[in-house]
Amino acid sequence: MKIEFTPLTGALVPACRAFNSRLRLHGEPLFVLPEEAPPPEPPAAPGGIARTQYVAVDETGAVRGGVLLVEQRGWLAGREIALVNVQSPLTEGIVDRAFAGVGFQMLRFIARRGEFAYAVGMGSDQKPFPRLLKAAGWSVSLVPFQFAVIQAAPVLRELAPVRQGHRRTLARLAAASGLGAAAATAWRAAHPNPSLRGYSLEQAAFEPGHLDLAWARCREAFTFAAARDAQAVESLHPATQPRLRRFVLRRGGEPLGWSAGLVTEMRDNPHFGNLTVATILDALAPGDHLPALLALTRDALADLGAALVIANNTHARWREVCRRLGFLSAPSNYVLGLSKPLAAVLQSLPEGLSRAYVTRADGDGRLHL
């Protein structure tokens, strides 16, 4: 079957709606193709981020899938590269084996856009797209998941792992009796904040010069990352996102780093029930200042009402700081896929993947937060 990947236009919207209808015959999908043409975007500035929704069109004009490609700058082995981020991949092959080949054609199309490509999110390494990536020779791994309990009682009532069977009864007793709160207090006492003398964290607009300086100071510690300079951060964490919280770390008035997070009041979420959950999307500061940044960001999100603060980080230094702050680890469903050329470079470097900086801000990681 010959497939052409073409940017979504208004003329293709009816075919996208028909595609979505065919998917829904097999149950409500996790996501579908857009059913409206995207508004025209101004051309990306040199070095900026370009997002294009592509759809897979067969010889009859029917849409058989689609993918959002984010073309951006990256950092790999000490040099800047062109990087392709793969988001929301979808093909009719997930419901009809007659179209199983569309996925491999999608990967060939992605390779033509750039050799260094990655995908983040995907829900589980057993989902169709991660399995396709493995079959095509991509490197597929899980990005570690960590969480900090801020309010023990609601967490014990709402978190999915303690809402089943005998755990539910024990968790409810711990929440009602105060044992859970006492245990959480003892855990925090055993994992105190680092010295915060002279540091402050404020919700504030990001200043381009400060973002560029933080990126220049941090990137040498990374084997791989999507760019986090001023131009990239403006696109990743735009001021127009109402739920986003942006924080600036200072000491003695000097800006040293920044972070970004979300606070979400969940409603019947399969993982978090009705908890208020905060997500640390990004946190960038030179090594000596990272503990203060992560500690103050967690506390700022707690002050905004979060009962639970979560984070996904590939970089070992970020995970270790979180562990020292009392974050717990749990099984992850946040998947990282790396194209063969990208994975090959990382595998050639000492601790290549554990010094890569990939977070919840990359890819479609915040889709359900």
Residues 225-264 pLDDT 10s: 999 999 999 888 988 888 899 999 999 889 999 999 999 9
Contact by Cβ (8 Å): 89, 118 = no
Q: How far apart are CA 270 and CA 287, in angstroms?
A: 36
Q: Tell me the whole-structure pTM to 2 decimals.
A: 0.90
Tokens describing residue 154: 């609601």
User: In CATH, which superfamily holds the domain spanning 145-332?
Assistant: Gcn5-related N-acetyltransferase (GNAT) (3.40.630.30)
Terminal CA-CA length for the chain: 37
- For the chain, what is the radius of gyration of the CA atoms? 22
**Given pLDDT bands bounded at 50, 70 and 90, which one contains residue 122?**
confident
Q: What was the pLDDT predicted at 109?
A: 96
How many CA atoms does the CB half-sphere of 303 hold within 13 Å?
10
Q: Domain limits of the chain? A: 4-114, 145-332
Contact by Cβ (8 Å): 182, 149 = no
Q: What was the pLDDT predicted at 272?
A: 84
Q: Is the pLDDT of residue 77 over 90?
A: yes
Q: What was the pLDDT predicted at 289?
A: 96
Q: Is the pLDDT of residue 368 over 60?
A: no
Give percent of the chain with pLDDT exceeding 90: 66
Beta-carbon contacts of 191 under 8 Å, excluding residues fewer than 6 positions away, are: 324, 325, 326
For residues 178-185, average pLDDT: 74
| Residue 255: strand pairing partners | 250
If you average pLDDT over every residue of the chain, what do you get? 89
Beta-carbon contacts of 328 under 8 Å, excluding residues fewer than 6 positions away, are: 146, 147, 148, 149
